[in-house]
Structure 1
Amino acid sequence: MAAVIVTAIATILIGMYGVRAVRTTGDFYVASRTVTPWWNASAIGGEYLSAASFLGIAGLVLAYGTDMLWFPVGYTAGYLMLLVLVAAPLRRSGAYTLPDFAEARLESTVVRLTSSVLVVAIGWLYLLPQFQAAGLTLRTVTGAPAWVGPVVVAAVVLVSVLGGGMRSITFVQAFQYWLKLTALALPVVFILLAWQSDGRPELATPEEPAFTDRTAVEITTDVTIDVTDPVTVRADGTIDGEPIDDELTLTSGEHDITAGSVLTFPAGAQIPHASQLTPMSGEHWALPMRSGGDHPLYSTYSLILALFFGTMGLPHVLVRFYTNPDGRAARRTTLTVLALLSLFYVLPPLYGALGRLYTPELLLTGRTDAVVLILPGELVDGAAGQALTALITAGAFAAFLSTSSGLTVSVAGVLSQDLLGRRVRNPVTGFRLGAGLALLIPVGLALSSPTLSIADVVGLAFAVAASSFCPLLVLGIWWRRLTWPGAVAGLITGGGAATAAVTTTIVLGPQDGWLGALLAQPAAWSMPMTFTVMIVVSLLTQRHVAPGVDRTMVRLHTPENLDLDRGDWDPEDRWRHP
């Protein structure tokens, strides 16, 4: 709790320091476009490394093994796609938000409104796991009720954002990146030393995960477990609706365990797993193409597409490029981000792999995302273990705060301009009202919806982004014949289909067969659908090509360091060959 309080206070104080520099609307939305590449890269690392990066990847590796390494690879490679395709032109567009860019490029308020709806939907979908992870973290380390985490994170984010907008949270997020990196890097040194002193036992063994010693497992949330082999345990709590305080034989099949129950397993007993998990067992954990259900090859390639191309469609990532002074700075920022992300993403898989060995009981409770929080205390005894756990907690809390801040700014910018802009005269007041609305819905969803795998939900947000804004940006920047009817048709068709698939998966849970694979990983079919619809409809509606498209395309692709005195530009911004 002390770590959480210190992190929250530091966030607020640094945000207050940024308030002093806020004087204009541009300061609120894009920090007056004066953020240097190093500061911007650190801030991007702060907001991009979310709960999915800090907790979720480790939890996925613990349960599903090497297949999950595509997540850190994809999260990092997405910035390479940004660097190659959109970073510099997007900065040269001069827009404040992604809907601003869409309207400026296609000269249509319809495409702006459609983009605004998708920005809000993606932002809320991405905020949901941040708040759920905050509840998980505080419940794990302090025993606080599940609602405390989302409320605390939302309150701190609101104070930071309302104070100084983008300029304020730039300082906050840069600080939080280095806190998160330290919080993972320092404990992993002690964890690896403990593994070394233990004789470096193999991480993947042919046997199923089993308790090495007599182990008591406390169930903190209601869970249904799947027992493969019958096992006799000492139970204290409510099992299958019946109170019990005695020895009990769990037969093969599913059993409902109520929160607060304690199950004590004998040494050597095979570890049951939560029914919502289908963890890899034995050597399959260390082999690729084993965790994609009935169609692992399709699931893997679809996930790669979503992660590689979804990054360029995340509104809280794109808004950062508007804060650079010019396109060259945007490219330098992206290169620096690639280095910072590569450094960070080495660490979470180590926690997941060693968690498989030392905290396999998390498979039973279903709380695999908590492995980063629990592992240091399991391997390091005494005050040192408690100090490392506190540091990890501070880093996790920083992850929730930084990503939530960036998402809140991006969603608030859209809500204030497109929903509240005509009703509130002062744009700063509109931004602050938009920030409140941006947080209200996801907090409510986090408190009322079932807890889902953090990285899975974020992966679904990437799929929606890849199926909507990625085609819009790529075609809008590189294809002059794109029209606003084509853009709108593609956003509604592909983005809508991906959103429907994501919603179905979240509400109904994973399905079997091809239907389940297509719904769980929609990017492989929804992204090509969006490109196809945008291109075909645009070719059929060429009369709606934006009148100023030539001027816009020149602006997007002309370097800022062009020597204007040479006469390459005339007063009407029309290009002349030297």
Structure 2
Amino acid sequence: YETIGGMRAVAWTDALQGVMLAVGLTGLLLAASPTPDNLAAVTTWIAREAPEKVSVPGWDVCRNWFSTLALIGLSGAVYPHAIQRIYAARDSTALRRSFSVMVFLPMVTTGSVFLIGILAIEQLAGTGPIEADQVLPLLLTEWSARSPVLYALSLVVIVAIVSAIMSTADSVLLSLSSILAKDVLGTTVLRGADEARLTHVGKMVSWVLVAGLVGIALNPRVTLWGLTELKMEILAQVAPLFILGVSWDRLTTPAAMAGLVTGTTVYAGLLASGNSQLWNLHAGVVAMMVNVGVCIAVSKIGAPPPSRLEPLHG
């Protein structure tokens, strides 16, 4: 549907997949039924059986949490497909209305998953050590065996999860193929090509990317959260370009490029050496701080940007 319909098809399918996700999360909460009494009982059980999970975390854990907040907050703000959604809005009124709703949606989605995770601590206590992304499948398996209604709700949740993944993947694929076709090939190999030619090349690039990604997906070596961290840490190296570029008028193009290259190199080096975290900070956050430092240093060392011309009088 992306090859045939382009941005309009992606926007419509994302809307439909979002509705499915909302239905799936509602079913998930109905299956879990986390009433205040249930949550209080679970909290009491956790405090008795695993007190370290409800105790005040140490500075090392807090530092890692702050690192995660910075990583997701800054990287999520510069998602290419999130910026691309601006151009899919019908008008500025529709865009403002959408953003006013979207700002609260993470509280609903992540809040639901958080409650499910709390309930899972007690329900899956006897299964031994498990990965974080195995919790929900295990819970759905347990709930689906209780009644036909919960079985149907579990199916809805699975479809909703797949839809959520697709709604992100198709947008990223559209953005990436557009960048490669217009900003890379369109300025080098296909310089001077018309819009139809670039669009056709973009579609072909999409198929090549999908073929390569399918091969990687069939041999997974990291967890879903590991892939999320990898994506966010790479995007974190782009965040300084947007934030400094908008808020600091002294940022120069050479400084932005130097910061981007340096931050990406530092992150790749830390990842290759097995240091995914330094002092409980994500490697991507450490590299982003280096990125910002290089941007500021190179901008201050370089020549100041030309001042604006004053209007002539007289």
TM-score, length of structure 1 as denominator length: 0.47
The structure with more strand, counted as a fraction of residues: 1
Larger radius of gyration: 1
Aligned counterparts of 1:575 and 1:283: Cα–Cα separation in 2: 69
Unaligned runs of 5+ in 1: 1-159, 208-281, 506-510, 552-573
From 283, 301, 313, the counterpart of 2:51:
283
What displacement does 1:191 show?
Answer: 1.8
Q: Give the counterpart letter for 2:278 in structure 1.
A: A
Displacement after TM superposition at 1:335 (Å): 2.6
Kindly state the Cα deviation for residue 469 of structure 1 after the two structures are TM-superposed: 1.6
> Matched residue of 2:289: which SS?
helix
Q: What's 2:231 paired with? A: 461
Question: 4+ residue runs of structure 1 moved beyond 6 angstroms?
Answer: 193-199
2-structure distance, mates of 1:455, 1:516 = 15
Structure 2 CA distance for aligned equivalents of residues 454 and 436 of structure 1: 23
For residue 428 of structure 1, the aligned residue among 182, 199, 213 is 199
| Match in the other structure for 1:497 | 266
Q: Which residue of 2 aligns with 1:409?
A: 174
Q: CA deviation at 1:170?
A: 0.3
Q: Any conservation in 1 of the 2:71–2:233 contact (CA below 8 Å)?
A: yes
For 1:194 and 1:300, locate their aligned partners in 2 and report how far apart those are by CA, in whole Å: 27
Q: Return the match for 2:3 from 162, 180, 184.
A: 162
Contact 1:310 1:465 in 2 (8 A): yes
CA separation in 2, counterparts of 1:336 and 1:575?
A: 43
- Structure-1 residue corresponding to 2:251: 482
1:310 aligns with 2:75: yes
Q: How far, CA to CA, are the matches of 2:216 and 2:71 in structure 1?
A: 24
Structure 1 position 356, deviation (Å) = 1.5
Q: CA deviation at 1:331?
A: 4.8
Shift of 1:311: 1.4
**How big is the shift at 1:367?**
4.4
- Distance change >3 Å, CA 343–CA 301, structure 1 → 2: closer
One-letter code of the match for 2:73?
F
Does 2:46 align with 1:204?
yes
Tell me, in whole angstroms, the C-alpha distance in 2 between the residues paired with 1:289 and 1:440: 44
Partner residue of 2:104? 339
Shift of 1:347: 0.4
Contact in 2 for aligned 1:486/1:537 (Cα 8 Å): yes
The answer to whether the 8 A contact 1:180-1:396 is kept is yes
C-alpha deviation, 1:182, in angstroms: 1.3
Shift in CA distance, 375/520, structure 1 to aligned 2, threshold 3 Å: same
Q: Deviations over 1:110-151 (max 9, x none)?
A: xxxxxxxxxxxxxxxxxxxxxxxxxxxxxxxxxxxxxxxxxx
Does the aligned pair in 2 maintain the 1:289–1:297 contact within 8 Å? yes
Residues 194 and 379 of structure 1 are in contact (CA less than 8 Å); yes or no, is this contact kept in structure 2?
A: no
- CA displacement at 1:400 relative to structure 2: 1.7
Q: What SS does the corresponding residue of 2:218 show, helix, strand or coil? A: helix
User: Partners of 1:469 and 1:392 in 2: how far apart?
Assistant: 33
Report deviation, 1:444: 2.5
Give the partner amino acid of 2:28. Answer: P
Equivalent-residue separation in structure 2 for 1:199 and 1:162 (angstroms)? 50
CA separation in 1, counterparts of 2:170 and 2:126?
33
- Of 532, 535, 557, 2:293 maps to 532
Specify whether residues 446 and 481 from structure 1 end up closer, same or farther in structure 2 by C-alpha distance, changes over 3 A only: same
Q: Distance in 2 between matches of 1:333 and 1:348?
A: 23
Displacement after TM superposition at 1:325 (Å):
5.8
> Matched residues in 1 for 2:30 and 2:13: separation?
27
CA distance in 2 between counterparts of 1:288 and 1:575 reads: 61
Q: Would the alpha carbon gap of residues 476 and 353 (structure 1) be closer, same or farther in structure 2, given more than 3 Å must change?
A: same
Question: Residues 484 and 355 (structure 1 numbering): CA distance in 2 closer, same or farther, change over 3 Å?
Answer: same
1:371 is aligned to 135
Amino acid corresponding to residue 46 of structure 2 in structure 1: A
**Alpha-carbon distance in 1 for matches of 2:27, 2:299:** 53
Q: Specify whether residues 430 and 347 from structure 1 end up closer, same or farther in structure 2 by C-alpha distance, changes over 3 A only.
A: same
The aligned length equals 304
Q: Distance in 2 between matches of 1:409 and 1:301?
A: 32
Identify the residue that residue 182 of structure 1 maps to in structure 2. Answer: 23
Cα 1:203–1:349 change in 2 (3 A) is farther
Higher helix content, 1 or 2: 2
Q: Tell me, what secondary structure is at the counterpart of 2:185?
A: coil
Displacement, 1:375? 1.8
CA contact (8 A) 1:420 1:434 kept: no
Alpha carbons 2:181, 2:202 under 8 Å: kept = yes
Q: Which residue of 2 aligns with 1:60?
A: none
The correspondence of residues 112-191 of structure 1 with structure 2, limited to 5 A, is 160-191=1-32
Shift of the alpha carbon at 1:296?
A: 2.6
Confirm or deny: 8 A CA contact 1:302 1:523 kept in the other structure: no
| Structure 1 position 516, deviation (Å) | 4.3
Instruction: Say whether residues 1:445 and 2:216 are aligned partners.
Output: yes
Aligned with 1:482: secondary structure?
Answer: coil
Contact 2:34 2:115 (8 Å CA) reproduced: no
CA RMSD of aligned residues (A): 3.3
Question: Deviation string for 1:164-203 (max 9, x for gaps)?
Answer: 1111110110111121121022232232269968994445
Partner residue of 2:113 out of 334, 343, 348: 348
CA 1:550/1:311 → structure 2, altered by over 3 Å: closer, same or farther? Answer: farther
| Identical positions, percent | 20
Question: Does the 8 Å CA contact 1:412/1:437 hold for their aligned counterparts?
Answer: no
Identify the residue that residue 65 of structure 2 maps to in structure 1: 300
Change (3 A) 1:480 1:550: farther
